[in-house]
Structure formats: structure tokens, C-alpha cells
Amino acid sequence: MTVTEVKTILNIAEATTTFDDQIEALLDDVIDSLESETNRTFDLDEEGDKVVPGGLKKVVAYDVLQLLRGGATSTDISSIKLGDYTVSYSASGMAVGTLTPAKRDRIVAAYTLMGAW
């Protein structure tokens, strides 16, 4: 999974690169944690990136978002501040905004039981 895929799921404009470094830093750890949680190993693509099954991509984006926000559990975002840079917005347009912790857990549990999508 790539930074671009995470940004697309979170409805972050491709031209906005403010969080790219943070997303990149978190992505491998989030995917490794999800592999451990589902007791599965994801395949690698030609570039060596882990191929996250389609149904779990939203979970990865959600987990990255939670870590960017310092682990907060609410999906209503009003702003993110990094250094002197602040972005304020409403989460209503974010594709991942409807994913709650409970729904995330159900998706992961379903994948763990089925093993594939």
C-alpha cells in the first residue's frame, strides 16, 4: 500500500504533501500490526510494498489517521497541527469518516476468519 492510496481513502488532495512523511513513516508499522492482528502475511508487489487486501485498505487508512491524530478515537476532525502549520476542516467528506472502532474490528475479524477477499 502506498501513501497515495492512503491519501485517496482519507480524501486528502494529492497536491497536499504536508503529511506525506508522517504517513510514510507510519504505513509499514500499521500494516505490520494488521498482519499480526489477522495472523496473515501480505504479499509483496514488484516494488517491495506490501499488498494490502482491498477490504483492509480502509482499515489501514483509519489506523494511520488515528496515529496522526495521536491515537484519538473520535472520527470528527476539526484540525491537525504540525509545527507552525495547521489544517482545519470537517471530516464529513472523508471516506473513512464512517469507520468506527467497532466497525474496524468487525472488518478485521471477518478477514481473519475468511482469510481472503
One digit per residue, the tens of pLDDT, for the chain of length 117 reads 889 999 988 888 888 888 899 999 999 899 999 898 888 889 999 988 889 988 889 899 988 988 887 754 444 445 555 566 665 554 444 444 556 677 777 777 777 766 655
> Where do runs of H (alpha helix) occur along 2-74?
3-9, 20-38, 54-68
Domain residues of the chain, as ranges? 3-114
Q: Is the pTM of this model over 0.75?
A: no
Residue 99 bridge partners (DSSP): none
